[in-house]
Structure 1
Amino acid sequence: MAENNQADYEVHTNCRVLVALDFNNPQDALAFADQVSPSQCRLKVGKELFTLAGPQLVDQLQQKGFEVFLDLKFHDIPNTVAAACKVAAEMGVWMVNIHASGGVKMMQAAKEAVASVAPKNGRAKTKLIAVTVLTSTSEQDFAQLGFSGSIEQQVVNLAKLTYQAGLDGVVCSAREAEVLRRTIGEDFLLVTPGIRPEGYAKDDQTRIVTPRQALINGSSYLVIGRPITKAENPQLALQQINQSIKGL
């Protein structure tokens, strides 16, 4: 079992793996956190787990030494989203996200709210990113929603709006990472779900990529869930993924 006491570790700033805690109760999430090292990953808390356990769970994970990506994908009027993002920043989370389709005004309001919060306990300022098109969305789904053009075109358009609004980056598929790197540049964070190690099942993701290929394409961070959380030995699975992307 990994040692997770806050005094006994140092979070690596070049850590690329964000483990998705897709558990239906906080006890399992905390038990999993005790099996992996905060020096080798960050943890992503999504809607189900946060609705169940709330800020207390985030605080417990941070006390174990983990940096937390709060994946709640806020999308509402600018004032409401800004207020929610400010609360997230006050919790000290490493990263929080909103929907780029909420528009530039909403994104700018969220950015200003996050920027107004002083970092706590020596942490860096909370990063704010925006979701482009969900990685579970197929081209057929996209067309049924009434959008014209391709998913890639929509991702690029929303990423440009996000950059214009001054956010730190976007959530996108690793398949779109290469074109976004060419279009926007190197200092824009690309957080990519839909990552599956070679030979692993697709599950509910449609636009999937292996960890190594995702980084080659230009991804900054890799969101990986079940290949690690459902592994017989989660720490070993995490180590193998980190080894596969070493040097990238």
Structure 2
Amino acid sequence: MKNPRIIVALDFNSAGEALSLADRLHPELCRLKVGKELFTAAGPQLVEKLIAKGFDVFLDLKFHDIPNTVASACKVAHDLGVWMVNVHALGGRKMLQAARSAIPENSTRLIAVTLLTSMDQDDLEDIGLQGEPAQIVGRLARLASDCALDGVVCSALEATHLRQLLGKDLCLVTPGIRLSGGEAADQKRITTPQQAIQNGSDYLVIGRPITQATDPLLVCQQINSEIACFQQTS
């Protein structure tokens, strides 16, 4: 598979656990996501090891700071050789533009987080954001598109609306994916893999359904088959 659409979230706190799981997967079937917990524990050296194993790595650190600091961090991520890196759209236009200027186009993909999939209407009211989650996601996604970012992180529940709003070119990366019958855990705005693809998602971030499986590679194969079957019938 030349363009695997599964991104496995390596939600571990040690390099050993992450590398052990990577050895049970295959870069033709999935990409890997390194987030704050794992990066804090293992650093860029782990990212280099995963890349050396042939995996595309999504560095999920959600940079959100003053424009110059974010630009510098994005440049370091690009030089590290990651496939994708993200910033937080709530950082605003100047920050997004600075991030864009730090990463050459057609190299490391630069995407923006809109709203975390763990947030619902009550959370938005707590922090003073007006509007429903879908409205806020739409505003932030349009801002990211205006700043020439490659895509956004969003819930698959919002993917259909974003496709209608911004067209086919914007890459949609969707966490909050759970297999049919699986537990939601701390995610609130969730979908199944097939629903996410149907809604317009490009890449599916999947953690525990794969990382805690007895046979992680088999789960990847099953999800890829499900996606392929949907694409053939759609």
Q: TM-score under structure 1 normalisation?
A: 0.91
Whether 1:23 and 2:5 are equivalent positions in the alignment is no
**SS class of match (1:44):** strand
The match for 1:193 is 175
**SS class of match (1:219):** coil
Maintained 8 Å contact 2:179/2:209: yes
Deviates more, 1:136-145 or 1:220-229: 136-145
- Aligned-residue Cα RMSD (Å) equals 1.0
The percent identity for this pair of structures is 60
Task: Find the aligned partners of 1:14 and 1:238 in 2 and give their Cα distance.
Answer: 14
Match of 1:134 among 99, 116, 125: 116
Task: Find the aligned partners of 1:156 and 1:61 in 2 and give their Cα distance.
Answer: 33
Structure number having the greater helix percentage: 2
Tell me the number of residue pairs that the alignment of Structure 1 and Structure 2 aligns. 230
Deviation for aligned residue 1:90: 0.1
Whether 1:233 and 2:215 are equivalent positions in the alignment is yes
Match of 1:108 among 97, 104, 127: 97
Match of 2:85 among 77, 96, 101: 96
The match for 2:126 is 144
Unaligned runs of 5+ in 2: none
Q: TM-score under structure 2 normalisation?
A: 0.96
What CA deviation, in whole Å up to 9, does each residue of 1:154-191 have, x standing for no partner?
A: 00000000000000000000000000000000010000
Task: Find the aligned partners of 1:136 and 1:76 in 2 and give their Cα distance.
Answer: 22
Task: Find the aligned partners of 1:144 and 1:150 in 2 and give their Cα distance.
Answer: 13
Task: Find the aligned partners of 1:197 and 1:27 in 2 and give their Cα distance.
Answer: 26
Maintained 8 Å contact 2:3/2:28: no
**SS class of match (1:82):** helix
One-letter amino acid of the counterpart of residue 224, structure 1: I
What CA deviation, in whole Å up to 9, does each residue of 1:48-69 have, x standing for no partner?
A: 1001111100000011110000
Deviation for aligned residue 1:14: 2.3
Query: 1:60-79 counterparts in 2 under 5 A?
Result: 60-79=49-68
Query: 1:161-176 counterparts in 2 under 5 A?
Result: 161-176=143-158
